[in-house]
Chains A and B, each alone.
Chain A
Amino acid sequence: MSGSERLPSARARRRLKLPQTLAGRAVLCAGLVIGAPALAQTARTVALELTVSHASQQPGPVDPEAALLHEQLRNDFRYQSLRVIERRRLDLRTGEVGGLDLPSGKRVRVRPLHMGAGGVLLAVDIENTLHTDMRVPDRQPVVIGVDRYDDGKLILTLEPTLPAE
């Protein structure tokens, strides 16, 4: 086997190499241009703070951790006490499902569907109770009064924090 038969000459290699390099660069650039936003989108995560609270008819204090929730509810709903039961932070990519279990045993599942300037499009499912799609602006809470529990009501609060652009 002679090398001259199998390999192109140096001149021929140079002639071949230049167009291949340009084509490769073009493909690479196109890939970056097309793929970068998609990569960035999949890499971005939304921080979702889920808080489970319990508003009760029993006289008692308002949990300091529930002070903001109390501000949102006190003009519209009557209760005697309010406490935070659980607080959980989920960092979710688009399409990823996260969740928690309510004290009542029902499973809550959340899934970011899209992130954009207007906020995050969230699908929220509470087992056999509620399914909703919401476009939630950055750091704007959504309060869901779910089920009766003990002598009061379970309240789920979701608040997204979007990643910096």
Chain B
Amino acid sequence: MNACDRMGPLLDAYHDGELGRLRSWTVRRHLGRCPACRQELATLGEVGAWVRDALEEPLAPDLWSELRGRLPAREARSAPAPGERLRWSLPARSAFGLPAFGAAAVAAGLALAVWVGVPDRFVPGLQTTATSVVRSLNTHGRPVVVLEGAGAGEATIIWLMDEEGVQGTEEIASVWI
């Protein structure tokens, strides 16, 4: 599994702002070096824009009438006012031509894959895997950031922070030496 394979699931979460600070940093670090993953991230952004645009398209004025005509009479009787129903029906539209339930299932599956399948490669407390470079680490209590090299030629970085604590890791390239 190469670096891009490992980053794949993280990119979705990164795009959605679901990663913690350190994992975000790991992704940004990889993006800084990998045009393919930058392109992948840009594609994710475009897809998101398409979905937003699709959701903002005005509905045909007679859409609700047409739908209500297809519903059984009892459901039609208990249906809320058209304006109210409209608010709730918009998010249920299919994002990619899939049935809404299918899209929800796919989204749930992706979320599960991100949660379950992403190895914890960023190791503030050092969680090693079989392929980790760093196997044990004692910093005498100093905070440390470990960035495992993801491929040939990419360095593994062990960065001991100053005693005062972790300097801002929120933004890319924000750790002052």
Residues of A bordering B, CB below 8 Å: 55-57, 69, 72-79, 121, 128-137, 139-148, 152-153, 157
Contact = CB atoms under 8 A, between A and B. Distances in A.
Given A140-B153, A140-B155, A77 B176 contact: yes
A142 B177 contact: no
Contacts of A139: 153
Interface of B: 25, 28-29, 32-33, 132-140, 142, 147, 149, 152-160, 162, 172-177
Given A129-B140, A141-B155, A142-B157, 4 more contacts: A72-B155, A139-B153, A140-B156, A145-B159
Contacts, number: 106
A115 B175 CA distance: 34
B158 A143 contact: yes
7 contacts: A76-B173, A131-B137, A132-B135, A133-B136, A134-B134, A135-B133, A147-B160
A129 B142 CA distance: 8
Given A143-B157, A144-B158, A146-B160, A76 B175 contact: yes
Contacts of B135: 121, 132-135
A contact face: mostly helix, strand, loop, or mixed:
strand
Contact of A55 (B25, B138, B158, B177): B177
A57 B153 CA distance: 26
A145 to B, nearest CB: 4
A145 B177 contact: yes
Contacts of A77: 159, 173, 175-177
